[in-house]
């Protein structure tokens, strides 16, 4: 079973190579040994959209570079609901496993462009970091405490280096 990354570019401010970032997100899932059949969404939005999400879900004002929204662990079982009494005519007797919905990563390329300029790095490097950072958040990495921050940043560097090598080879 594959690791599916669904992506959408819902902004027009900055050109984005969506498929490149899908490959990166998929590589992170693979490197983190996420089981096959898992799904996540990678969405590129404008500053107004990310500001709205930031305020609505985090209570913060204004735009930001990346947000990660993990999905609940409760996956609805396959089969008929609520009686679980079978799958219906013509269906296999055994229900397939539903995909594990990991969550959504939302990136704001125009905000990232400003951050890249401030940090004296390329927009591509900034977007790569944000994609990795967001996916790692979905996989329970955090940076609330110093030890967590060090572990997350170390893993980000390792994954970004791996992606650069893969791109050079490919």
Domain presence at residue 62: yes
| Domains in the chain, number | 1
Domain presence at residue 85: no
Query: Which residue has better confidence, 82 or 139?
Result: 139
* Residues 49, 111 contacting (CB under 8 angstroms): no
* Residues 45, 82 contacting (CB under 8 angstroms): no
Residue 49 tokens read as 């959209």
pLDDT digits (tens, 9 = 90+) for 30-76: 999 998 889 999 999 999 999 999 999 999 999 999 999 999 554 33
Percentage above 90 pLDDT, the chain: 77
Residue 38 tokens read as 């898992």
Is residue 80 predicted with pLDDT exceeding 50? no
Q: Specify the CATH number for the domain of residue 26.
A: 3.40.390.30
d(CA 70, CA 135): 9
Is residue 99 predicted with pLDDT exceeding 80? no
The reported pLDDT for the residue numbered 72 is 53
d(CA 41, CA 67): 12
What average pLDDT does the structure give for the chain?
Answer: 88
The reported pLDDT for the residue numbered 43 is 98
pLDDT digits (tens, 9 = 90+) for 101-119: 999 999 999 999 999 999 9
Question: Helix or strand or coil: residue 105?
Answer: strand
d(CA 77, CA 90): 19
Structural domain span for residue 125: 4-78+98-169
Question: Helix or strand or coil: residue 4?
Answer: strand
Is residue 100 predicted with pLDDT exceeding 90? no
Domain presence at residue 90: no
Domain presence at residue 141: yes
């Amino acid at each position: 079973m594959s690791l599916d990354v669904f992506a959408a570019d819902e902004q027009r401010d900055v050109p984005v190579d969506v498929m490149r970032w899908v490959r990166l997100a998929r590589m992170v899932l693979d490197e983190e040994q996420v089981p096959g059949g898992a799904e996540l969404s990678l969405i590129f939005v404008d500053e107004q959209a990310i500001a709205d999400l930031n305020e609505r879900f985090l209570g913060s004002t204004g735009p930001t570079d990346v947000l990660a929204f993990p999905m609940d662990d409760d996956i609805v079982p396959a089969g008929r609901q609520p009686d679980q009494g079978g799958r219906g005519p013509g269906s296999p007797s055994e229900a397939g496993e539903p995909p594990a919905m990991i969550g959504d990563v939302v990136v704001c390329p125009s905000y990232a462009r400003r951050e890249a300029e401030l940090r004296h790095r390329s927009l591509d490097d900034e977007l790569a970091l944000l994609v990795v950072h967001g996916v790692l958040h979905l996989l329970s990495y955090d940076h609330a405490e110093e030890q967590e921050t060090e572990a997350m940043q170390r893993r980000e560097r390792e994954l970004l280096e791996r992606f650069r090598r893969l791109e050079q080879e490919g």
